[in-house]
Amino acid sequence: MQAHIEKLVKLQSVELERARLTTALRALPAESAQAEAALAAAERQAAECSDALNREETLRTRLEREIAGHRQKSARFKTQLDVVKTPEQATAIDHEIEFESGEAERLENEEFSSLERTEVQETALAAARAEVERLAGALDKTKARVAQRQQEFNAELVGLNAEREALRKEIEPEWLTRFDRLAGSRGTAMAKAENQQCNGCRMGVRPQMWNQLREGELLTCDSCGRMLYWDPAFAPAAKSPQAASGPELKTRIDKAQAGD
C-alpha cells in the first residue's frame, strides 16, 4: 500500500479509537449514578420497614391503654353489683360488664394481629438492611472501577492524541483537508474496497476502478464520496488457490476477520 494511503488509514483508525474511548468515558459516570440510585432505593425500603414497625408499636401502646381502660371500667361495675338494690339494676350492670369485657377482648385480638405484622416487618427490615449493606459495598466497588477506567481511558486518549498529531504532520495538507471534510460529513473518510464493493456504503465498484484500486491507487467512491483504497494484506490469494489450505488458510481467515 502506498505510504500516504497507509497513513490516512492509520489516522482513521486512531480517530475511531478516540471516538470510542470518548463515548466510553462519557458513559462511565452513569455507572456510578446507577449504583447510587440502587443504594438510595434500598435505603428508602429500609426506612419504610422501620416506619411500619414504629407505627405498629404506637398502635399497640394505644391499644394497651384502651384495654386497661375497659378492664378498669369492668372492675368498677363489678363492685357496683355488690350494692345494687333491684334485679333490673343488676341486669343493667351485667350488660355493662359484658360490653367492657367484650371490648377489651376485641382490642387484645387487634394487638395480637399487630404483633404478627411486626414479626413479618422485622424480617423485612433485616433483609432491607442487608441489601443496603450489599449495595453500599457494590457502590464503593463501582466508584473505584469507574475511577480506574477514567484514568486508563484518559491515558489512552493522551497516547492517541499524540499519535494523531504525529500522523497529521506526516500527511500532506490537501489529503488532510479531504479527510477532515469527509470525516465531518460521513463519519469516516476512508473506505476499504472489498469484493468489488465500497465497504463504506456497500455500493459496487466498476471493474475499471477495481483494477485501478488493486494497482494501489486511492480513488473516490462514486456513491458515497469516501476515499476508496484496496488493502493487499486482506486480499484473497487468487493466483494460487491450491496454497490456500491448512494453517496458511487459517492465518489468512484470522487476518481477514481481524481486519473486519
Binding residues for Zn ion (CB under 5 A): 198, 200-201, 221, 223-224
Q: Between residues 141 and 206, which has the closer beta carbon with respect to Zn ion?
A: 206
Q: Which strands form 190-194's sheet, in the order they lie side by side? A: 197-198, 190-194, 227-229, 219-220
**Whole-number minimum distance, CB 14 to Zn ion, in Å?**
21
**Whole-number minimum distance, CB 238 to Zn ion, in Å?**
23
Q: Between residues 45 and 188, which has the closer beta carbon with respect to Zn ion?
A: 188
**Whole-number minimum distance, CB 139 to Zn ion, in Å?**
47
Q: Between residues 32 and 223, which has the closer beta carbon with respect to Zn ion?
A: 223
Q: Between residues 8 and 198, which has the closer beta carbon with respect to Zn ion?
A: 198
**Whole-number minimum distance, CB 251 to Zn ion, in Å?**
29
